[in-house]
């Protein structure tokens, strides 16, 4: 066992001992997954633990031996990476959800100001998830490039480890504008949606789900199926996601 693998095994094993199922999920799923897990645990008595982070970080942890049972990514790239690493149970990958990308501003940001006005301000920053690795940032960069905005902002990025970090920057007025998923913006009382990015300006925002290889126990399969159920779909849609 490599040192990296041993590190992740030791780091997470103590946290997952009491859980029957361990899920690694993109940070943009935090609120909705918490609700779904609570409902599932109340119904079944089974314990489910969810670890939230950027999809890229979670995928790398899984590839290095972290004890996840189910992986929910915010894009197909990192799911494909785990498939290439032979980490995914054959036939278990499904496209679960879709989302929308939006430009947000803090409540204190003057509504009459234009995009060009912001660009011209000294010290201007736009918050977004890391566009090199994190799905929300990758989608954001694609859209800005398609709209010919990227050259104006590429040196003014307030980069976060995940989309929730970008949301927090705007909520705290550390950046006047940010790029997040619509589902994240809807959760916050401290930001407003300035515009939705055209769907054809970036790759489709798809959330795939899969079971990690050699983890297909009955309890894992049961929760996996629950996430595909009508009850779970209703919860996803109540948070603004589109089910597939």
Query: How far is C-alpha 222 from the chain's CA centre?
Result: 23
Please report, to the nearest 10 degrees, the dihedral formed by the alpha carbons of residues 61, 142, 104, 118 taken in order. 120
Please list, in sequence order, all residues whose beta carbon lies within 8 angstroms of the beta carbon of residue 183, skipping any fewer than 6 positions away: 28, 32, 99, 100, 239, 240, 241
Counting every residue, how long is the chain?
A: 244
- Nearest alpha carbon to residue 115 among 184, 199, 179, 180: 179
Strands 48-53 and 21-26 turn out to be parallel
Please report, in angstroms and rounded to a whole number, the separation of the first and last CA atoms in the chain. Answer: 38
Binding residue numbers:
28, 55, 136, 163, 181
SS3 for 82?
Answer: helix
Binding residue numbers for molybdate:
28, 55, 136, 163, 181
Strand order in the sheet with 126-129: 157-160, 126-129, 177-181, 101-106, 191-196
- C-alpha 125/C-alpha 227 separation (Å) is 38
**Pair of tokens at residue 76:** 């197909």
Q: Tokens 């795939």: give the residue.
A: 208
Helices (H) then strands (E): counts for the chain: 11, 11
């Amino acid at each position: 066992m490599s040192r990296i693998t041993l590190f992740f095994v030791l780091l997470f094993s103590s946290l997952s001992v009491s859980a029957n199922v361990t899920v690694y999920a993109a940070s943009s799923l935090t609120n909705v997954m918490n609700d779904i897990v609570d409902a599932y645990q109340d119904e079944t008595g089974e314990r489910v633990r969810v670890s939230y982070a950027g999809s890229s970080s979670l995928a790398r942890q899984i590839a290095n031996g972290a004890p996840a049972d189910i992986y929910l990514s915010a894009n197909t790239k990192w799911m494909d990476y785990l498939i290439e690493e032979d980490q995914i149970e054959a036939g278990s990958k499904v496209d679960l959800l879709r989302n929308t990308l939006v430009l947000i501003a803090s409540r204190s940001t003057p509504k009459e100001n234009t995009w060009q006005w912001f660009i011209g301000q000294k010290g201007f920053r736009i918050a977004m998830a890391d566009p090199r690795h994190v799905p929300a940032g990758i989608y954001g960069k694609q859209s800005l490039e398609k709209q010919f905005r990227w050259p104006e902002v590429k040196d003014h990025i307030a980069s976060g480890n995940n989309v929730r970090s970008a949301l927090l920057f705007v909520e705290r007025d550390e950046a006047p504008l940010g790029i997040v998923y619509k589902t994240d913006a809807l959760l916050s009382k401290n930001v407003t949606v300035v515009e939705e990015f055209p769907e054809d300006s970036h790759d489709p925002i798809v959330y795939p789900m899969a079971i990690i290889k050699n983890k297909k126990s009955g309890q894992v399969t049961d929760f996996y199926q629950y996430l595909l159920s009508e009850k779970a779909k209703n919860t996803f849609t109540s948070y603004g996601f589109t089910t597939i």
